Structures are given as C-alpha cells and as structure tokens.
Amino acid sequence: LAAWFPTPLPRLPSNLRDGENNIASTFLRGFFSLFDHDRAALAAQFYDADSWFSVSVDADHNRDPISQSYIKYSRNIGELGVRNPGTQQRLFMGGPLISELWTLLPATRHASLDQLDQWKIDCHTFPGLADPSGQGSAIGLMINIVSQSEEVDVRQQLAGIRTFSRTFVLGPSKPGAPHPYRVVSDQLTLRDWTPQAPAPA
C-alpha cells in the first residue's frame, strides 16, 4: 500500500522537554482547569501588561454555528491580510483586556491531563527572550498542544466537541508577580467541530 500512495509520518506521544522543574506539566494542569472555571483568575495569575493573546478560526473547516461566537475576533492573518486593521485590533495585549475577551468566548470543558490519549503536548526551552529586569537575555519555554474540548455556547444553546491547538511562550515574570513565570504569548487556533446534544439548562 505504501508503495502506491504517499504515507503520513508516524505520530509519537507527547514530547515534554520542559527542564527539571516540569513547568509545562504544572502550568497546563492549572491552566485548563481555571480556563474552564474562572478565566478572570487565570488571566490575573499568569498574564501581565505585556502578554499577548489571539484566537484564530480555521476558515475552511469551521463554518460551524459556534464559530460565529469567535469569528469577529479571529486573527487569521492569511485570511484577513497583512494590512487589514483587524490584524492590529484582534491582537489582545495585557491581562485585563485578555480576560475581558475570554468572557465573550464560549464556555469549555477540557479533559483531565491524566487522560494522556486526549492530549498531544510538545514543548522545549529556547534561548533569546528579553529578561524582564532589563538585564541580558532569558530562557523561554515553547509549548504546543493539540487536544479537544467540550464547547458550549449558552446564548445559542449549542454544544459540540472542538479540536483545537494552543501554543504558549512562557518566560520569567517581572518582580512581584504571583508566579516565577508568565505567559508572553498565547495563540489559540480553532479546528474541526462536531455538534453534541444541547447541554441541560
């Protein structure tokens, strides 16, 4: 069969190279639980005045009804174009603004990180971030996640299963922050969606 058609590459399990403090595992466990239950608290803990967030909708595949709740914020540069004012306006900076946007997005429920088959998480450290103290450079952690979550749009009475990817860059925090590291960049991409029976009211 392989000789007749090109073949996909093998898929290995998550590849977590996040250093000896296992920052990625600790961060993600807290992150998705809070994202499902208390987004404002999450933004206050890990996002500072210089954090960036954007969401983008994969326009070819997500003509689903629930995407309408995201699409006016979608920063898909390929679709908007480089010079569209949307590429400026749909990039959200700072904890308060990010938190405000999150309240407008559909509710979610993510699987526990203990369900390993539900998550593909790859991460590694990299050099070259700016040190927040202004002295020299710092090590960053890049994390990429592919997973699914239950997604509910209360206003539309719609529920479904969303495949998403989410990518973080973590870096050291500014002095006085609640955690030693902060979210420098958070990019959420919405992929395929399948409807579910509406959640009970």
Partner 1 sequence: MAASAHETNIRCSAEAAKNFVDWYYRQVNEAKPIAQGYVNGNATYDRAGHAPADICINGLVVATPQEWEKLLEQQRQCPKQTDPNQKLVRYDVEVFDCHVINPDYRFAAPQKMLDLHAPTDGVRMMMMLTVGGTVYFGTGRNKGDGYFAKERFQDVFILVPNWDVLGKPGAKVGRKYLVASQIYRTF
For residue 135, give Cα distances in angstroms to 37, 99, 132, 149.
Answer: 37, 30, 7, 40
CB 196, min distance to partner 1, A: 19
Alpha helix (H) ranges present in the chain?
A: 23-37, 39-46, 68-71, 77-80, 85-89, 95-104
Q: Report the residue number, 95 or 140, with the smaller CB distance to partner 1.
A: 140
Q: How far is the CB of 73 from partner 1 (least distance, A)?
A: 11
CA–CA gap between residue 153 and residue 155 (Å, rounded): 6
Query: Could you list the residues that contact partner 1 (CB under 8 A)?
Result: 2-15, 17, 52, 54, 56-61, 75-79, 82-83, 87-89, 91-93, 97, 120, 122-124, 126-130, 137, 140, 142, 144, 146, 163, 165, 167, 169, 171, 184-185, 187, 189, 191-192
Give burial (CB, 10 Å; 0-12/13-18/19+) of 123.
buried
The residues near 168 (Cβ < 8 Å, ≥ 6 apart) are: 27, 141, 142, 143, 183, 185, 186
Least separation, in Å, of the C-beta of 186 and partner 1?
A: 8
- Distance in Å, CB of 166 to partner 1, minimum: 9
Nearer to partner 1, 157 or 194 (CB): 194
The 3-state DSSP class for residue 86 equals helix
In this complex, which beta carbon is closest to partner 1, that of residue 136 or of residue 200?
Answer: 136
Taking the least distance from each CB to partner 1, the nearer of 130 and 199 is 130
Closest approach, Cβ 37 to partner 1, in A, equals: 26
